[in-house]
Structure 1
Amino acid sequence: MISTHTMDNNYKTQAEKYQYLSKQHGGYYRHNFTDHAYLYNLYFPPKEVFAHLKDNIHNLVLNYPVAQDVLAKLIGEIIGQPADRIIVGNGAAEIIKILSGHLAKKIIVPVPSFNEYVNAAPEGHVVEFPLEFPSFQLDIDKFAAEAIKVEADMAVVVTPNNPTSILVPKSDLIRLAQKLNEHNCMLIIDESFLDFAENKEQISLEQNIAEYPNMAILKSMSKAYGICGLRIGYMLTANLKFADAVRNEIHIWNINGFAEEFLRILPKYKQEFKDSCQKVKADRDIFYENLCEIKGMIVFKPDANYIFCRLPDDALSGPEITKHLFIKHNIYIKDSTEKTQPDATRYIRIASRTNEENKKLIEALKDVMY
């Protein structure tokens, strides 16, 4: 455990600690609290991966890493795809910045969603499409019609969505791609949390990518593989012209040596990875059932490793509960105030952790809700 007396600690009380951390985007492990905000796989990578990186630390620090062509081959071996369809990013965030910020003339995003798609777009280049309220389901036909109406050249669907943890059916995404193809609109499908959904192989579009020239799949590996600090994401598309446009925006050494080495050894740990995802799902399912027992709480059935909840009408607001949870119980969750949605202050998103931590969170939540 790292000492809490580091240069990062610009606070004297728990309330000040909350104010400080609520403005940070990471480095949480330095501050000694339970993080139910960020969305990790706590059961991967196995110890052997850390031992391997440690044993090779001299070479990894002292030498230049490889560039895109080799990185794309490494990802290609993991997902069974040719390298020319793959662009490897310093986390998915680097690729999102290129898609939203540089390539899209007009991008349409269902909201609430992962904020980075909207944040990365220049002013006036983004259209927010509200999800059906209060179910938060994506109406494919209305979304396609709006994309065509606003003349979007790029549409984004996150599945399972963040923060709602709701999956968009594969058949809907295929229909959407076909509708948008007639209007020269690329469909970006963000599958970052798909490893935690049931029947992932049947619902991922990765293996069908060659059939849809206007489709690209984006994936953050940080979440599913539990490697947030290594920063690896990739985009996959059979549209080689689009792949080149994204690749041209990436600088030569965008991935460090530790991330490269992780990709090299990852194929050895396929079974461990599958097992870790099963464990995450088992914990999440118990967590979901226990959250459903809280009187008046609306809990959305999750397809990812986090759970979206509407607070009881007579309970405190999301921001108040988030703050009290932290000050009183040293537990951090996310409220929805920064999301574009109706009644945003009534919603919270809770990452599932271990069974023991999930139980503690439920007790703490009950303690601070009113």
Structure 2
Amino acid sequence: MKVTEFVGLQMFELSYLGILAVLPFFVAQKYIGGFILSVLLLIGSYHVIRKYTYKAIGNNHGRSVLITGCDTGFGHAFARRLDNLGFTVFACVLNLDGEGAKTLQQSTSDKLHVIKVDVTKDQDVKGALDYVGKTIKQNDIGLWAVVNNAGVNMTADVDFCTMEMYKRVAEINLFGTVRVAKAFLPLLRLTKGRVVNVSSVRGRCAFPVASAYSMAKYGVEAFSDTLRAEMLKFGVKVIVVEPSNYGGATGMLNDVWCQQMEKDITSMWNEASNEVRNTYGQNYLHSLYEAGKSTAKTTYPTLIPVLDAMEDAIVNCSPRYRYLISGGNTLYDIYVVLARLNGILPESWMDFIMARTLLSGLPPIQGVDTEANKS
């Protein structure tokens, strides 16, 4: 990894620890300073211990992993990585005739199985369960992990986002995760394996024009926390991976997304009330669409940091419960900064920071004196 890339990923963590390190010297009460220093020592010791006590599971060739959403993005790249590591991989795709499925079939070993799974359909998930169960029995291997990666994005203000759009995003991102996890839990209990749910930084902090996506990802976080507590007695681990700004690198902002967004813009405008139309103006929606496309230029250039976290979640004997992964191509990731501050700072402070950082990047609303208009 280049030095600049490392600094970009770690800047907030370094700044955060630096502030904590000097804060005691500006605190009048020595006990408070001592407490903060003690916390710093505990955090540092924790990371050192984790680094030097790392232990991999071993015997990758005797284990299998199922991954959803392998047409593009994280799922596609992670399926190839696990295949290289010797795992038997069940790569679930939405389109067997698509470029992603063909690439997986042509560029991987015979231990990678490409299967068609629409996570919104019970029969598809049941078919995948039957296929996986039969395959692992024939090859005398176990199902070690399920990676719930399938997801879609949706960008729109609450005023415009239709109920159909809310349901579509939730059905894939949230209920698809629940549907797949529930189906494969019996096989995971046999191996004391793990469930890896790919959430998002937006599952830790809700940002403007992302209510549908954030609602679903918050749901994934809640589901994961509950499932983790329930699976402890069976030895099954539940892990959450929370990528930040990687949309351009994943392909989530690709031509398919653009075509769907264009359709959604038409639907949103047609279904909006006259009051909403008069408040925002039609140009607002088109500007929002262009702003969404332009975010592809701000994302982290590769998927490697997220793939590394996903690999650690699979092969580490003692994985973390959560992996919040900075992204973007700037010195620090504002989304991760806000996610870490969320729940610590008062809501009014968070609103102020968000208005100065995120709202200023949104298109102006006609006739309304907003932060976006001021900028």
With the length of structure 1 as denominator, give the TM-score of the two structures: 0.36
Structure scoring higher RCO (CA < 8 A, sep ≥ 6) equals 1
Larger Rg: 2
With the length of structure 2 as denominator, give the TM-score of the two structures: 0.36
